[in-house]
Amino acid sequence: MNAAAFDYVRPATLDEALEHLAKHGEDAKVLAGGHSLIPAMKLRLSQPRVVVDIGRIRDLHSMSERDGKIAIGALTTHYEIESSDFLKRSCPLLPEVAGKIGDVQVRNKGTIGGSCVHADPAGDWPAAMLALDAEFEIGSPRGNRTVVAKDFFVDMLTSAVQPDEILKFILVPVTAQTTAYVKFAQKASGFAIAGVAAFVDKARKEVALGVTGVAAKAYRAAGVEAALRGLELSAATIATAAQKAADGIDPLSDIHASAEFRAHLGRVQAKRALELAASRG
Partner 1 sequence: MSTTIEEAPKGAKASQKYFGRAMKRVEDPRLIKGIATYVDDLKLAGMLHAEFVRSPHANAKINSIKTDGAKKLPGVVAIFTGADVNDKLGTIPCATPLPGGKSPDHKVLAGARAYFVGHPVAIVVAETRAIARDALDLVEVDYDPLPAVIDPEKALEKNSPLTHPELGTNIAFTWSISGGDVESAFKEADRVLKIRLIHPRLTPMAIEPRGCVASWHAGESSLTLWTSTQIPHLVRTLLPGLIGIPENKLRVVAPEVGGGFGSKLNLYAEEVVISHLAIRLNRPIKWIEGRRENAAATIHGRDQIGDHEIAIKKDGTVLATRCKAIVDVGSYCQLLTPAIPTLTGIMLCGCYKLKAVQMEVTGVHTNKMSTDAYRGAGRPEAAYIIERVMDLVASELGLDPVQVRLKNMPEPTEFPFQTATGLQYDSGNYQAAFNKARELADWPNLLKERDTARKAGRLFGIGLSTYVEICALGPSKTMAAGGWEWGCVRIEISGKVTVITGTTPHGQGQETSFAQIAADRLGVPIEDIVVLRGDTATAHFGRDTYGSRATALGGTAIVMSIDKIIEKTKTLAAALLKSTPEKIEFEDGKFFVSGEANNELGWGQLASEAYVAKNLPPGFEPGLEASSFFEPPNCTFPFGTHIVAVEVDRDTGQVKILKYIAVDDCGKQVNPLLVEGQVQGGIAQSIGAALMEKTVYDENGQLLTGEFMDYAIPRAADIPDYVLGSTETPSPSNPLGVKGVGEAGTIGATPAIANAVIDALSPLGIRHLDLPFTPERVWRAIQENGGGS
Footprint on this chain of partner 1 (rule: CB under 8 A): 1-2, 4-5, 43-44, 184, 186-189, 255-258, 261, 264-265, 268
Closer residue to partner 1, CB minimum distance, 33 or 102: 102
For residues 29 and 37, the answer to whether their CB atoms sit within 8 Å is yes
User: At its nearest, how many Å lie between partner 1 and the CB of residue 102?
Assistant: 11
Instruction: List beta partners, residue 132.
Output: none
User: At its nearest, how many Å lie between partner 1 and the CB of residue 178?
Assistant: 23
User: At its nearest, how many Å lie between partner 1 and the CB of residue 140?
Assistant: 32
The rounded distance, in Å, linking the Cα atoms of 84 and 81 is 5
135-140 and 166-173: which strand pairing? antiparallel
Closer residue to partner 1, CB minimum distance, 168 or 183: 183
Closer residue to partner 1, CB minimum distance, 90 or 115: 115
Closer residue to partner 1, CB minimum distance, 44 or 58: 44
Closer residue to partner 1, CB minimum distance, 14 or 261: 261
User: At its nearest, how many Å lie between partner 1 and the CB of residue 242?
Assistant: 11
User: At its nearest, how many Å lie between partner 1 and the CB of residue 189?
Assistant: 5
Closer residue to partner 1, CB minimum distance, 79 or 184: 184
The rounded distance, in Å, linking the Cα atoms of 150 and 256 is 27
Kindly state the greatest CA–CA separation across the chain.
59
Closer residue to partner 1, CB minimum distance, 188 or 236: 188
User: At its nearest, how many Å lie between partner 1 and the CB of residue 259?
Assistant: 11
User: At its nearest, how many Å lie between partner 1 and the CB of residue 113?
Assistant: 22
Q: How far is CA 101 from CA 51, 124, 192, in A?
A: 25, 7, 9
Closer residue to partner 1, CB minimum distance, 1 or 203: 1
For residues 46 and 38, the answer to whether their CB atoms sit within 8 Å is no
Gyration radius of the chain over CA positions: 19
User: At its nearest, how many Å lie between partner 1 and the CB of residue 255?
Assistant: 5
